[in-house]
Structures are given as C-alpha cells and as structure tokens.
C-alpha cells in the first residue's frame, strides 16, 4: 500500500545482469547501476493516482527554460524521403522565430557547419511522445540537470510535422519510424567521432527508440538507452483504453484530436502526396480511428490492429545488446501495466526495468513541482558516461549463450511490413 504519495519501487531484470567494468578497474553490473540511479519515489500526495497525475499535465506549467537551435535534415533513404527537424540544446539566446516553439531558432548556416568536433563530451539524443516535440515540459525537466551541468550535449529529434516542423513528403511518422533516428545517430557518430552517444525516448518516442535499439542489436552505435513510459504492446494499450470511459472518452479522444490537428496543420503539404481521405479524418474522434484512417493508408496495413502488432516494441527487448534502462509507472493509464513485457526483461541481461507504483503517464509530479523521472534518467546517464568503461562492453552474449544460437527460429525485430532498401 502506498502511503502519503510514497511509491513502491520494483526492478525486473535477468538473473545474470550485464557485467560492467568501472574506469577505476573495479566491477559492477547493470542492475546495480540502475538501482543506485533510482532514488525513493515521493509523489505529491494530492495527486494520488495515475489519472490525476496524468491529467495534471494539462495544467499550464511553463517548466524549465531550455534553448534550442534547429536544423532541417534531408532523409537519406529513398523510401523514407523528405525532411525532419532536429533541435540542439544551445546557450540562452534572444533570437525569436514566431514560427517555432518558444526559445527555438534556426541555426545560421555557418554556425551549423562549424559544429563538428573531436571532443569527447557525452551526447544525448531525445525522442518525444505522440504529437509532441522538444518543447514538451516532461522532456525539459528530464534533460535540465544535464544541461545545467555543462558536461553534456543534448539534441531532440522531432517527429515529422511535430514542433512546428514542415512535412515535405507523403512519408509521415509512426510508432516504428526508426529511419530518422538511425540517420541522425549515424550523422552524430561521423560528426562527433569521440562522443559517447546515449538516447532517451518518452512514450511513443520510447517505443520508436526501443525498436531502433533492438533492430541495431550488437551494431548499435549508442552506448546506452532509456525508455520512459513506453506503451510496448500497442494492441494491448489500445484495447485497454477502449475498455473504460476515461480511456476512450478522455485519453483516446484527446490523442485523436491532437493527431487530427497535426494532420490538418499540414493538409496543404499532404494533398497530392498521399491517398488520405481528409474528409474522413475530419469526422474521426479517437486515436484508433486516426490510425485506421492514416497509418493503414500510409503504410499499407490492412487494419489498425495489424499496425499496432507490427509496430510494438515488446519483442525488440530481446534484440537489445547495449545497456538499456526502462522507467515505468504501474498506474500509467495510457501505457498500461498489462502491456509491460516483464518476461522479456528477465530474458535479456542488457536490460533492466524499474517500475513505480505511482506516477501516471510521463508525470511523476513531486511536491514542489519537480518531476521524479528526471532523477533516474540523469543519474543513470551520468554514471554510465563518467564511471563506466564503455569500451569494455562487448555485446556478444545473451544469458551466457552466443547470440547466433539463441532464439534460432525467433527474430525479435522481424517486421511484417516490407522495407525497401536504398
């Protein structure tokens, strides 16, 4: 039983967590690092369940000030063509661009071209939630300690059309849209060859990130990744949301409305480039209706549930071969508890899941207005970057069994949707 906002903490992990070597020569393991990174979870007692925590996010809170410079990247994949926007955290500036989110302005061409560096400062790539962007309060709370330390570089990849970015092709984002993050990580690796790269994803962005890390497997360029409030099994979360009044008439309705607004904002750009029925989109109400009208048409899925099953990241957990830390609230009313792949986490020594009994969806409001999820995220990243010998992590074994002989007939990240290569 939770008392006065004190949430219970639980860890799910392999019986033999990934061994890690510290820079001072001593040893530890992934579970110990995650446990040490996770402080006690004391929520605001007035926000005593997941619904209230989640709905409190609608309260207009300015949140911490983080400043960005934006760069538009051209996609390098002939199938997933178009552009996407990346916002890089920079020092405070006075530039104002009314077409962009607050405290965000475009890079000057010369400034961007001079970004390349051989420094070894750690760098974090962030992926936001559904229809969000770099401006989201939960994201800014999570990265603020890293930004204030001055020791980290941070950037946020905005899903296509989000955060006032343009859509320049008929290719939109979906829950398994890993191609833009793959290209960005590749660009970062080439531009900053000595920087250890990490990533954190929130909600839908966590699902995308988990799929990306699972798809890359032992070849993943990242040194570590964090998943926050991941829906994991989208078909399960969809059915759970439709079961209850709040799930359907609040969460499904709000998310459906947000996505409909996003499409309508870019309607002019999409007409002629897609087969979308915009009249039908105008009539829809719920998120699953949006996915039926947009994702199935865009990607060729026969139903929205086929899309959910294919885009889910639960199986990708088994393909991960870098240190991976998942943070989740058990009372999350959107990324519901029944969709958490507990058994998959137990199978993979590269992964650890921490759950709190309270916190809602991307909420975790503490007394005083802080957000608890920022603590385990930043603590984990700081320890991994400053104390752990990252070069000593050799992604060759899973549960003590060589990867090539593990799951001989099961491929964790096999897509049912055919991907055309360059």
Q: Over 237-293, what HEC string results?
A: HHHHHHHCHHHHHHHHHHHHHHHHHHHHHCHHHHCCCCCCCHHHHHHCCCHHHHHHH
Instruction: Profile the chain (422 residues) by mean pLDDT over runs of 10 residues.
Output: 86 97 97 98 94 87 92 93 97 94 96 94 98 96 97 98 95 92 98 98 98 96 98 98 97 97 94 93 97 95 96 96 98 98 97 98 93 98 98 69 53 73 56
pLDDT attached to residue 62: 82
Q: How far apart are CA 337 and CA 317, in angstroms?
A: 16
Q: DSSP 3-state assignment of 326?
A: strand
Give catalytic residue positions: 203, 332, 361
pLDDT attached to residue 404: 47
Q: How far is CA 49 from CA 35, 211, 356, 371, in A?
A: 24, 29, 12, 15
Residue with tokens 């007692």: 45
DSSP-assigned letter for residue 148: H
- Any bridge partners for residue 206, and if so which? none
Q: In which region does residue 360 sit, left (phi positive, over 0), alpha (psi from -120 to 50) or beta (all else)?
A: left
- Any bridge partners for residue 317, and if so which? none
Burial grade of 24 (CB within 10 A; 0-12, 13-18, 19 or more): exposed
Asked whether the beta carbons of 139 and 156 are under 8 A apart, the reply is: yes
Nearest to 386 by CA among 205, 122, 38: 122
Q: How far apart are CA 277 and CA 267, in angstroms?
A: 11
Q: How much is the pTM?
A: 0.95
Q: DSSP 3-state assignment of 84?
A: strand
What the block records as the tokens of 5 is 């906002």
Stretch (H or E) spanning 72: strand 67-74
CA 255 to chain centre: 17
Asked whether the beta carbons of 229 and 328 are under 8 A apart, the reply is: yes
DSSP class per residue in 360-387: TTTT-BPTTS-BTTHHHHHHHHHHHHHT
Burial grade of 58 (CB within 10 A; 0-12, 13-18, 19 or more): exposed
pLDDT attached to residue 398: 46
pLDDT attached to residue 58: 78
* CATH architecture assigned to 6-233+314-405: 3-Layer(aba) Sandwich (3.40)
Burial grade of 394 (CB within 10 A; 0-12, 13-18, 19 or more): exposed
Asked whether the beta carbons of 99 and 168 are under 8 A apart, the reply is: no
pLDDT attached to residue 57: 86
Asked whether the beta carbons of 325 and 352 are under 8 A apart, the reply is: yes
For the chain, what are the domain ranges? Answer: 6-233+314-405, 237-311
Nearest to 278 by CA among 296, 293, 288, 299: 293
Report phi then psi at 204, rounded to 5: -60, -35
């Amino acid at each position: 039983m939770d008392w006065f906002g004190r949430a219970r903490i639980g860890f799910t992990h392999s019986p033999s967590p990934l061994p890690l070597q510290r820079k001072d020569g001593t040893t530890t393991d992934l579970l110990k690092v995650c446990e040490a990174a996770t402080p006690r979870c004391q929520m605001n007692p007035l926000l005593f369940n997941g619904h209230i925590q989640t709905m409190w996010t609608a309260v207009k809170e300015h949140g911490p000030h983080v400043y960005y410079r934006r760069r538009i990247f051209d996609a390098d994949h002939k199938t997933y063509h178009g552009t996407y926007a990346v916002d890089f955290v920079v020092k405070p500036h006075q530039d104002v661009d009314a077409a962009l989110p607050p405290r965000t302005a475009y890079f000057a061409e010369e400034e961007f071209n001079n970004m390349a560096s051989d420094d070894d400062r750690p760098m974090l790539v962030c992926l936001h939630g559904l229809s969000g962007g770099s401006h989201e309060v939960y994201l800014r709370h999570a990265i603020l300690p890293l930004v204030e330390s001055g020791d980290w570089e941070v950037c946020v990849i905005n899903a296509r059309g989000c955060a006032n970015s343009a859509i320049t092709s008929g290719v939109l984002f979906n829950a398994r849209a890993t191609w833009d993050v793959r290209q960005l990580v590749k660009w970062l690796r080439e531009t900053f060859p000595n920087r250890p790269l990490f990533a954190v994803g929130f909600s839908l962005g966590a699902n995308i990130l988990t799929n990306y890390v699972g798809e890359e497997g032992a070849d993943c360029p990242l040194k570590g990744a964090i998943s926050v409030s991941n829906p994991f099994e989208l078909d399960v979360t969809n059915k759970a949301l439709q079961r209850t009044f709040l799930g359907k008439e609040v969460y499904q309705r709000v998310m459906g409305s947000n996505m409909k607004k996003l499409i309508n904002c870019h309607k002019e750009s999409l007409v002629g480039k897609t087969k979308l029925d915009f009249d039908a989109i105008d009539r829809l109400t719920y998120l699953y209706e949006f996915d039926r009208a947009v994702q199935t048409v865009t990607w060729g899925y026969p139903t929205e549930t086929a899309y959910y099953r294919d885009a889910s990241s639960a199986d990708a957990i088994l393909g991960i071969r870098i240190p991976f830390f998942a943070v989740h609230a058990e009372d999350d009313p959107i990324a519901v508890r029944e969709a958490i792949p507990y058994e998959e986490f137990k199978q993979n020594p590269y992964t650890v899941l921490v759950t709190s009994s309270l916190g809602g969806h991307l909420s975790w409001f503490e007394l005083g207005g802080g957000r608890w999820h920022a603590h385990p995220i930043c603590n984990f990243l700081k320890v991994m970057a400053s104390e752990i010998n990252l070069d000593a992590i050799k992604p060759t074994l899973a549960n003590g069994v060589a990867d090539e002989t593990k799951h001989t007939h099961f491929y964790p990240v096999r897509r049912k949707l055919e991907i055309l290569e360059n």
